Structure 1
Amino acid sequence: IQFTKKLENSEEFLSNESYLPQVDLRFKALSLIKQAQDVKIVILGQDPYPNASKACGISFLDNSIKDFRDPKLAPSLRNLIKHLFNANGINFSSISDLKQKMAILPSVQDFFINLSVNCGVLWLNASLTYEKGQQKKHCLFWKPVMQYIFEQLDDPIYVLMGDFAQSYESDIMRRVVKTKHPAATDFLMGDNVFSMIRKLEKPGESVNFIKQRIE
């Protein structure tokens, strides 16, 4: 936050209450990580959900949904869970079958928070704020903040989801997984994101996304 305050126009992006998410949630993802060296995986999305009830400062976490089986679950999050199940040999034959299998997961909020606190998964967006029709403006402001954050980390795996996230590839040049944004209609046709993460993990840093622990 201190680094961000030094940037031009920082007050606008830190304090403007018309931007999403609400002011006190804009650094929520970072607040869940105790130390920079704890971060093992960075999952980088685009920007917050364009809805006040959904946006919460954690990429892909829909804060309006408590249960993964809720029919209103965001398509991007449902697609991520499909990849997660496929990577772990959990097969499903239909949407109703998928929902039954989702019963093994905790609440939506606990899933994300446990992975952050216990496993060092940083759920971040390329832009920490959203304003309708102004995505480029917001991404440009947050770019030096993202670069500063990445410089503090100790060689995690970066999962760059979508074009905005992939614009940071040249800044990272380390262990990188690139995928389409999970909201894309053909996301499920690409390589499995969790299988790609597993291939890049070092001994002793394997994250069990199902049980939310290090193995």
Structure 2
Amino acid sequence: MTPPAAWAGLPFFRDTYPVIARAIDAEPLPVYPPATHRFRALDLCPPDAVKVVILGQDPYHTPGKADGLAFSISQDFPGKLDSLGNIFKELHDDLGVSRDRTDLADWAAQGVLLLNTALSVPKGKPKAHSRLGWTELTRQVLETLSARRRAFVLWGGPAKAFEPHIRGGGHLVLRSAHPSPLSAYRGFFGSRPFSRVNDWLIENGETPINWTTPEAR
């Protein structure tokens, strides 16, 4: 698989990804998201375009759900929204706006890098690929993006563990529980990440993110 052009210089793609790719090829279970979407988050957000990083855990492990962007769900998925449903609830409570589009590509188009700390997962086995070496990619991405001030939103323990790789000063770093139904009530609800990110962007002369459904702009 060809690395995302704007990120291809990261040592990860030369040193680590070939090992991960072999492990994925040997995985007996279906792996999500599809290989064509594995680096979708990086494809849609070259480094110079990134204003906000939302860091999650690993892709959804249910067939047809993961689309390559952290927390995003394929638009035609008929099942429960789980973490994304809680994100939409917090969005409404925070900004008083609603969203019904589950594909978050419009956030990516505005400079929101929706990155998981692992970019693959076998069917029905959450976190099963978390030790394959994806952490090297997360570390290198965060260190690259630390070169200028950005907003970093760390949802859940695996994401918060990468905070030491956000270098330098002047960043906005928000930390909370993961929006999963198992943990959202432990500090995700009420954390107001959307308004806090937008307030910070405005203070720093940046255009705020439109978090609602694109057609509502």
TM-score (norm 2): 0.76
| Greater CA drift, 198-207 or 54-63 | 198-207
Q: Which residue of 1 aligns with 2:205?
A: 203
Q: Which residue of 2 aligns with 1:49?
A: 60
Q: Which residue of 2 aligns with 1:32?
A: 44
Q: Count the aligned residue pairs.
A: 193
Is this contact kept in 2: 1:44–1:160, CA < 8 A?
yes
In 1, distance between residues paired with 2:129 and 2:102?
30
TM-score (norm 1): 0.77
**Aligned CA distance change for structure 1 residues 57 and 13 (closer, same or farther; 3 Å):** farther
Q: Which residue of 2 aligns with 1:85?
A: 92
Is this contact kept in 1: 2:54–2:155, CA < 8 A?
yes
CA RMSD after TM alignment: 2.8
Identical amino acids, percent of aligned pairs: 27
**Aligned CA distance change for structure 1 residues 212 and 155 (closer, same or farther; 3 Å):** farther
**Aligned to 1:169, which of 142, 163, 172?**
163
**Aligned CA distance change for structure 1 residues 185 and 160 (closer, same or farther; 3 Å):** closer
**Aligned to 1:6, which of 15, 18, 39?**
15
Is this contact kept in 2: 1:42–1:157, CA < 8 A?
yes
In 2, distance between residues paired with 1:77 and 1:19?
20
Q: Which amino acid counterpart does residue 22 of structure 2 have in structure 1?
A: E
Write the deviation string for residues 35-76 of structure 1: whole angstroms up to 9, x where unpaired: 31110111111000012311121111122646xxx7x34121
Q: Which residue of 1 aligns with 2:35?
A: 23
**Aligned CA distance change for structure 1 residues 140 and 160 (closer, same or farther; 3 Å):** farther
| Structure 2 portions without partners, runs of 5+ | none
| Structure 1 portions without partners, runs of 5+ | 91-101
Q: How far 1:155 sits from its partner (Å)?
A: 2.8
In 1, distance between residues paired with 2:75 and 2:66?
8
Q: Which residue of 2 aligns with 1:142?
A: 134
Q: Which has the higher helix share?
A: 1
1:180 aligns with 2:190: no
1:193 aligns with 2:193: yes
SS of the residue 2:136 aligns to: helix
In 1, distance between residues paired with 2:55 and 2:130?
15
In 2, distance between residues paired with 1:185 and 1:125?
17
In 1, distance between residues paired with 2:38 and 2:23?
9
Q: How far 1:30 sits from its partner (Å)?
A: 0.9
1:125 aligns with 2:137: no
